[in-house]
Homo-oligomer: A and B are copies of this chain.
């Protein structure tokens, strides 16, 4: 029987725990709410109880390699301290890894959630045949992770992969980080809604205005639905999103010449609406892309799905394949690869 490990996706809302074996089979997944209001110790104890149950259940089948935990925040990889975590109030500057290790008596590896998502897509998803890749996660904000030679690239202080705050337009909309024109101001769900509201306020988007007035949620998904129905202003928003992503990815391609750039997160569901604009920008803005574009690959540029080893000297930009499970798989792989 293959050995296994436990991957945890510890989000600000959901707490998900999975047992995954070395072959990448998800044996069981448990989903709990993250009751952040009850405090860090409560959440950690609940999580550890669930991990213990899952580990006990599969222990006869193979050896437990350890626990990998993806957390939204900045982690000191040397000490396992969680330095900052806006979505987990009260958790900053605490030795989370040591606390969980103490409770479980098992090896625990803490890792940033965008990094484990990238690792998951590398292990079992869109990037499984490449060694060097970056993943951009388009959600409420825009996160990112980098995998070089099969391992997460942390950078000097664990802050690598802040693609959401790369400047796309020097005089663009202000961002919470203090900059203007960050990618996140164009390519996040928050930005999609903001751009729609701006269009409504300008008076040039009666279709969006009508939809917004009848839909109390009026979220990025609703705006995407309008775009695929052909609503012009909604389409323009996804055009801006795709162009901003294209500028950012072109810069990454020119700087680092990686094999693959994977676009994931909830907003990537709108891939059909924005991806043509990514490729348009890339062809104009990246001489490295122009020299390595996969024009002759089956499916061609922008094909969605798994790209095999025949693409190993082509620059591939594609959708993520594992959805919200990417982080669980990546977290589970951590104890299998890091020795």
Contact = CB atoms under 8 A, between A and B. Distances in A.
Interface in A107-157: 132, 144, 146, 148, 153-157
Contacts of A259: 156
A160 B257 contact: yes
Contact of A155 (B258, B284, B290): B258
A27 to B, nearest CB: 35
Contacts of A318: none
Nearest to A169: B170
Contacts of A257: 154-162
Contact of A287 (B148, B177, B292): B177
A313 interface: yes
A165 to B, nearest CB: 5
A269 to B, nearest CB: 25
Contact of A159 (B169, B252, B291, B312): B291
Given A156-B132, A313-B157, A315-B156, A255 B166 contact: yes
A280 B178 CA distance: 12
A157 B291 contact: yes
Interface in A289-310: 290-292
A22 interface: no
Judged by DSSP, the binding face of A is loop
A211 to B, nearest CB: 29
A329 to B, nearest CB: 24
Given A156-B132, A157-B292, A178-B284, A256 B146 contact: yes
Interface residues of A, number: 46
A92 B262 CA distance: 33
Contact of A313 (B156, B161, B179): B156
A85 interface: no
Nearest to A153: B256
A247 interface: yes
Given A177-B287, A284-B178, A170 B168 contact: yes
A286 interface: yes
A250 interface: yes
A3 interface: no
A255 B163 contact: yes
Contacts of A167: 247, 250-251, 285
Interface string A236-254: 0000000000010011101
